[in-house]
């Protein structure tokens, strides 16, 4: 039994790490646990070369839940260079832009089909007053950002700029309203301003500011981490706020009344400790008994990979020990989801309320010389593997986890893109997201396999991980990760109900676990084509050490 503490005192949580055991459908977890441990015992006696072969069985006839495209969502907070420089350079910038929004970033994000973006925070959201961010740019209030470096917030990126950005990349709005220091009236007026088609004073103001048609707001976050930076509320106090905001913060868009209704997401847990199980229990119990006057569709969960608080692991220049420790820590996501899903199941067995993991990713020490409040970090091959492992976990819980937002999209924490003035570089995590695009809205297909183990000093991890899914056209996709940084893995996939003819795809690896892409060398960690062998109906593919591979199977 391995006990880990992952987020310091106030954020602390403890888990039992289920190493060695990877399963495919949660219905057969118990069976798979036994199976996994039995094979682990056998594996110890098998010569190393044989132990690197992994047989998988993909039963294409067994369809699971839909892997909601929203699990590939992003989070963009007014924090460091996340918005300013990362997305917004202003219309007068020499950096190519469309109405102030960087063209290079837009092009990059379009290619990974970002489904939704959570904005404006984070902790920032509970101090954000939307009126500061509308109207002529030169008349906007200049405020402070006390959460993140105490810097000036120019408010030049506000509601219209965010909605324009979404429009440019084709994503949906996930707006987090201010519960901590705002009022229900302020939030209600923001939503009226955004969504009404009637000629109200707020709608006219929106038109004057350049948008006469109502905007679509797909998701509404009611507060952020209200148990801490969002106001240090007790579960009961938050619940009373939640009911008020859920009741009065309305979406008036005519196109969102019957279909495409705005989904409301309540603040949920930030770990697995009793204070957070109590939180989930309080909100879900109230949900079970809710009246017509309030409702929620999602419960948010935040879980960063950081091993200990404050974050002290380096984002570059690390070795195998830190690689193994971080990946071990990230796999705790599975237990955390199971724990809160079990509470949700008690009050919502039909799984109407989604678990929304709207902040996740690696949180490392700030880069030397950077403003510690800006959460600047590099992004390495380790992060691409970490992303793949988490996406696989979300996919296995697809019946409950229907949305997730990696933190954060540009220049902050585990970013997709890093920018510096006119330069932009795509991170290894970006490429993992790009390779997983075919899994968006695909149907989960169970994979049975015994993962084997990768051991580094006292750390033992499942050596490989895999998910499979069928897309709308019926094509089968496999995502295969080799966690072991030293040994390749020979994967042999047997497919029931599918006559494989060929299988091709891409693989992402690099010389070292801490390989990164830089402005000078942007192609160190980029996907390369890979093809599998087909013999006797089986698909065989060799996974390079420390790699993520996605292949499609043609029949
Ligand atoms: O992503 C950085 C911060 O982490 C967010 O603002 C907050 O919600 C969380 O604690």
3-state secondary structure 482-513: ECCCCCCEEEEEEEECCCCCEEEEEEECCCCC
Catalytic residue among 161, 225, 332, 450: 225
Q: Catalytic: 359? A: yes
107 is catalytic: no
Nearest CA to ligand 1 atom 9: 122
Q: What atom of ligand 1 comes closest to residue 408's alpha carbon? A: 1
Task: Output the pLDDT for position 16.
Answer: 26
In the numeric block, which tokens belong to residue 298? 């999602």
Residues near ligand 1 (Cβ within 6 A): 77, 121-123, 224-225, 229, 359, 407-408, 413
Give CA torsion, residues 94, 96, 97, 103, to 10 deg. Answer: -150
Q: What's the whole-model pTM score?
A: 0.92
CA distance 451 to 85: 42
Residue 75 CA: which ligand 1 atom is closest?
Answer: 1
Per-residue pLDDT of the chain (555 residues; tens, 9 = 90+): 222 222 222 222 222 222 222 333 333 322 232 233 222 222 333 334 444 899 999 999 998 999 999 999 999 999 999 999 999 999 999 999 999 999 999 999 999 999 999 999 999 999 999 999 999 999 999 999 999 999 999 999 999 999 999 999 999 999 999 999 999 999 999 999 999 999 999 999 999 999 999 999 999 999 999 999 999 999 999 999 999 999 999 999 999 999 999 999 999 999 999 999 999 999 999 999 999 999 999 999 999 999 999 999 999 999 999 999 999 999 999 999 999 999 999 999 999 999 999 999 999 999 999 999 999 999 999 999 999 999 999 999 999 999 999 999 999 999 999 999 999 999 999 999 999 999 999 999 999 999 999 999 999 999 999 999 999 888 999 999 999 999 999 999 999 988 899 999 999 999 999 999 999 999 999 999 999 999 988 999 999 999 999 999 998
Catalytic position from the list 322, 359, 450, 492: 359
- CA separation for the pair 412, 118 (Å, rounded): 14
- Cα dihedral 334/73/56/548 (nearest 10): -100
Residue 222 has which token pair? Answer: 């009611």
d(CA 483, CA 548): 8
- From the CA of 121, give the closest atom in ligand 1: 6
Distance between Cα 78 and ligand 1 center (Å): 11
**Looking at residue 312, what is its pLDDT?**
97
Give the Å distances, CA to CA, from 229 to 65, 145, 199, 223, 551. Answer: 34, 13, 37, 10, 42
Atom 7 of ligand 1, nearest CA residue? 122
What is the CA(515)–ligand 1 centre distance, in A? 26
For residue 43, what pLDDT is reported? 30
Contact 297, 251 (CB under 8 A): no
Helix (H) or strand (E) holding 281: helix 274-288
């Amino acid at each position: 039994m391995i006990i880990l503490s992952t987020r310091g005192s106030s954020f602390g949580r403890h888990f039992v790490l289920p190493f060695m055991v990877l399963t495919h459908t949660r219905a057969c977890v118990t069976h798979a646990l036994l199976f996994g441990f039995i094979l682990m015992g056998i594996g110890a006696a098998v010569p190393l070369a044989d132990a690197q072969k992994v047989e998988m069985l993909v039963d294409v006839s067994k369809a699971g839940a839909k892997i909601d495209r929203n699990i590939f969502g992003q989070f963009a907070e007014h924090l460091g260079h996340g918005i300013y420089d990362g997305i917004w350079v202003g219309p007068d910038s020499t950096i190519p832009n469309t109405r102030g929004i960087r063209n290079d970033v837009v092009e990059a994000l379009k290619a990974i089909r970002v489904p939704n973006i959570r904005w404006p925070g984070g902790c920032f959201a509970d101090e954000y007053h939307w009126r500061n961010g509308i109207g002529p740019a030169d008349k906007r209030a200049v405020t402070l950002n006390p959460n993140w470096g105490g810097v000036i917030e120019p408010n030049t990126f506000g509601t219209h700029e965010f909605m324009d950005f979404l429009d440019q990349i084709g994503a949906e709005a996930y707006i987090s309203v201010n519960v901590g220091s705002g009022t229900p009236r302020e939030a209600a007026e923001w939503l009226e301003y955004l969504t009404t088609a009637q000629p109200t004073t707020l709608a006219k103001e929106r038109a004057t500011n350049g948008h006469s048609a109502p905007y679509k707001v797909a998701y509404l976050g009611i507060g952020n981490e209200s148990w801490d930076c969002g106001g240090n509320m007790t579960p009961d106090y938050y619940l009373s706020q939640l009911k008020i905001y859920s009741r009065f913060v309305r979406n008036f868009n005519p196109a969102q009344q019957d279909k495409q209704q705005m989904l409301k997401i309540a603040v949920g847990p930030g770990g697995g400790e009793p204070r957070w199980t109590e939180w989930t229990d309080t909100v879900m119990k109230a949900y079970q008994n809710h009246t017509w006057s309030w409702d929620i569709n999602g419960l948010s969960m935040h879980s960063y990979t950081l091993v200990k608080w404050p974050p002290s692991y380096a984002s570059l220049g690390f070795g195998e020990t830190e690689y193994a420790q971080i990946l071990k820590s990230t796999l705790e996501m599975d237990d955390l989801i199971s724990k809160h899903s079990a509470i949700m199941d008690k009050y919502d067995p039909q799984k109407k309320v989604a678990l929304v993991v709207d902040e996740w990713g690696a949180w490392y020490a700030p880069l030397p010389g950077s403003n510690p409040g800006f959460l600047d970090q590099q992004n390495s091959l380790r992060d691409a593997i970490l992303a793949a492992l988490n996406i696989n976990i979300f996919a296995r819980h697809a019946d409950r986890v229907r949305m997730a937002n990696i933190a954060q999209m540009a220049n902050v924490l585990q970013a997709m893109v890093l920018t510096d003035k006119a330069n932009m570089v795509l991170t290894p995590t970006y490429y993992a997201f790009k390779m997983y695009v075919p899994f968006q809205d695909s149907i989960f297909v169970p994979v049975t396999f015994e993962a084997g183990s990768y051991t580094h000093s006292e750390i033992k991890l499942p050596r490989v991980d895999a998910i499979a899914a069928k897309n709308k056209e019926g094509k089968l996709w496999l995502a295969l990760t080799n966690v072991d940084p030293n040994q390749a893995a020979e994967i042999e996939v047997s497919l029931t109900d599918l006559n494989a003819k060929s299988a091709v795809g891409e693989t992402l690896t690099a010389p070292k676990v801490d390989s990164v892409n830089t402005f000078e060398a942007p192609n160190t960690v980029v996907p390369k084509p890979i093809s599998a062998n087909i013999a006797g109906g089986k698909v065989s593919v060799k996974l390079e050490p420390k790699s993520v591979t996605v292949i499609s199977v043609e029949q």
